[in-house]
Structure 1
Amino acid sequence: MNVHEAISQHSRQQHEHLQEFEQLDHLREELIQEAVELCLKGEAFSTEAINQVTARIIEHAKNGISPLRQFVNEDMVRDYVEQLKREKQ
């Protein structure tokens, strides 16, 4: 494989890696939004699904250049909801 082919292959792999990260990150954001909406309504919610996707993102990041995401707990969601409520006042 010549240098040009190697660089092209490397670029393609990085692009594919980042595309997969974007899909996982989008799913994580959707799950966070669902938890926030439930919390705003005063309904029960869980961060388990959020953190399952977060774990997948962290594992995925070990194989490329994508950023990490932190785990989310229920208090973080409640604090964010309280912040949203204060901003609306």
Structure 2
Amino acid sequence: MLHRPNYQLLDRHRCFTVFAKNHAKLNFQIVLFIATVIAAILVFAFIGILLLPILGIIDLIFVLIGTVKASNGEIYTYPLTPDII
């Protein structure tokens, strides 16, 4: 899933909550990208055919939940996402 560049990550000192929200979002997208690459490789073993739609649904659900939480002013931490950056 491609998303537009988030320029708010470049300005850390402007608002801590904006930085924390974008930090969590970027970590989740990096983990999801790595999982998608692994699933794409596993397509040759016919396992990835099942994993790719599941990853798409997971991305849609968690991004929608994160969007609702962010609109309420809460910091949403995505599940099973380590701090990469």
Q: TM-score, normalized by length of structure 2?
A: 0.51
Percent identity between matched residues is: 4
How much does 1:35 deviate?
1.4
Question: Could you tell me which of 54, 63, 79 is aligned with 1:57?
Answer: 63
SS across alignment from 1:36: helix
How much does 1:42 deviate?
4.2
Measured on the aligned residues, the alpha-carbon RMSD in Å equals: 2.4
Could you tell me which residue of structure 1 aligns to residue 47 of structure 2?
Answer: 44
Question: Could you tell me which of 4, 23, 30 is aligned with 2:27?
Answer: 23
- In 1, Cα distance between equivalents of 2:40 and 2:24: 24
- In 1, Cα distance between equivalents of 2:38 and 2:45: 12
Unaligned runs of 5+ in 2: 1-13, 72-85
Unaligned runs of 5+ in 1: 1-9, 65-89
Change (3 A) 1:44 1:34: same
Aligned residues: 55
How much does 1:51 deviate?
2.4
Question: Could you tell me which of 12, 17, 39 is aligned with 1:13?
Answer: 17
2:36 touches 2:55 (CA, 8 Å); kept in 1?
A: no
Structure 2: which amino acid aligns with 1:57? Answer: V
Larger Rg: 1
- In 1, Cα distance between equivalents of 2:61 and 2:54: 10
Q: TM-score, normalized by length of structure 1?
A: 0.49
How much does 1:52 deviate?
1.9
